[in-house]
Amino acid sequence: MNHPRSVEEIAEDYRARREGLLRALTEDVEKFWSLCDPDRENLCLYGEADGQWKVDLPEEEVPPELPEPVLGINFARDGMQRKDWIALIAVHSDAWLMAVAYYYGAKLDKEGRQKLFKQINSIPTVYESVTGKVKSANGSKATKKRKVTEPTADREPKAQASSKPLGIGRLLTQNDVNLDLRGRQAELFWPDDNLWYLIEIQNVNVRQNQARIMYTDGSTEELELEEIIRDGHMSLITRD
């Protein structure tokens, strides 16, 4: 298994694992709840590098390949208010995410660690998202500079969208920002809706790091790509 080494790779790993944990505590919370049977042994919640999550026993290997999440999350499930239990798991999930990121980043220099923390700190924590301390579950900051011509940003979703990416693409990177993006199909995540919208990239301003996109309902939007890339909010559909 190749571990992430650069700041960008570690930050992307953090975002993917966070996405999995957040899904477990929000979208898949009923399934997560049912898996955390207090009659079972010590269980842990893991966020996977591919954006998935799992509830499982701790690793038997000592020391483990990665820092372990908090043990025994299932034991308190029926002894607390449900929302308080979810919030507690979220806090421990944030601590685990930081532990994994800095485990990978142990060999970074001072500037690298500062850059890594800045990227991580720009994203709402799992706790903030789960408890509503931020506007949306996956961080509304990326939408602040968006300008939708029609319909408005608080519209009812009418464009083609889904709760999960289609699975036929990859996250947009800064290296992708060039004129070849024009005409490409992609999916754009809206934190306020918690949905992935199918879009077409109409134009790209490489110098200003901006793109004009069109939804399937014909509405258009100007995007600040730096934030979109940083927060992992665009999946570029790969060509055959």
**CATH number of the domain encompassing residue 208:** 2.30.30
197 within some domain: yes
Say what the pLDDT of residue 133 is. 65
Domain match, 11 and 127 both: yes
Q: Is the peptide bond before 58 cis (omega within 30 degrees of 0)?
A: no
pLDDT digit string, tens, across residues 139-181: 333 333 344 444 434 444 456 888 887 778 889 999 999 999 9
Question: Does residue 216 carry a pLDDT above 90?
Answer: no
CA distance 64 to 136: 34
Given 114, 131, 148, which residue is the final one in a domain? Answer: 131
CA distance 130 to 196: 19
What is the number of domains present in the chain? 2
Question: Helices (H) and strands (E) in the chain — how many of each?
Answer: 6, 10
40 within some domain: yes
Question: Does residue 197 carry a pLDDT above 70?
Answer: yes
Domain match, 127 and 11 both: yes
Range of lowest pLDDT (65-74, 97-106, 152-161) = 152-161
Domain match, 56 and 147 both: no
Domain match, 217 and 114 both: no
Phi, psi of 60 (to 5 degrees): -80, -25
Question: Does residue 25 carry a pLDDT above 90?
Answer: yes
Domain match, 118 and 34 both: yes
Say what the pLDDT of residue 234 is. 92
Question: Does residue 6 carry a pLDDT above 60?
Answer: yes
2 within some domain: no
Domain match, 117 and 71 both: yes
58 within some domain: yes
Question: Does residue 103 carry a pLDDT above 60?
Answer: yes
Domain match, 216 and 122 both: no
Write down the mean pLDDT value for the chain.
85
CA distance 236 to 196: 12
102 within some domain: yes
Q: Which domain holds residue 57?
A: 7-131
- Model pTM? 0.58
- H-helix segments, the chain: 7-25, 29-35, 82-104, 110-121, 126-131, 225-230
Domain match, 155 and 118 both: no
CB-based burial of residue 143 (10 Å sphere; 0-12 exposed, 13-18 middle, 19+ buried)? buried
198 within some domain: yes
- Count CA within 13 A, CB hemisphere, residue 227: 16
Given 131, 158, 193, which residue is the final one in a domain? Answer: 131
Domain match, 102 and 21 both: yes
Say what the pLDDT of residue 1 is. 55
Domain match, 167 and 76 both: no
Say what the pLDDT of residue 176 is. 92
Mean pLDDT across 197-207: 91
CA distance 124 to 133: 9
106 or 131: which leads in pLDDT? 106
Say what the pLDDT of residue 63 is. 84
Indicate the pLDDT class of residue 55, thresholds 50, 70 and 90: very high
Domain match, 167 and 57 both: no
pLDDT digit string, tens, across residues 226-240: 989 988 899 998 765
1 within some domain: no
CA distance 59 to 61: 5
Mean pLDDT across 74-88: 92
Domain match, 161 and 121 both: no
Given 107, 131, 155, which residue is the final one in a domain? Answer: 131
Strand partners, 188: 197, 234
Kind of pairing, strands 234-237 and 220-224?
unpaired
1 or 165: which leads in pLDDT? 165
106 within some domain: yes
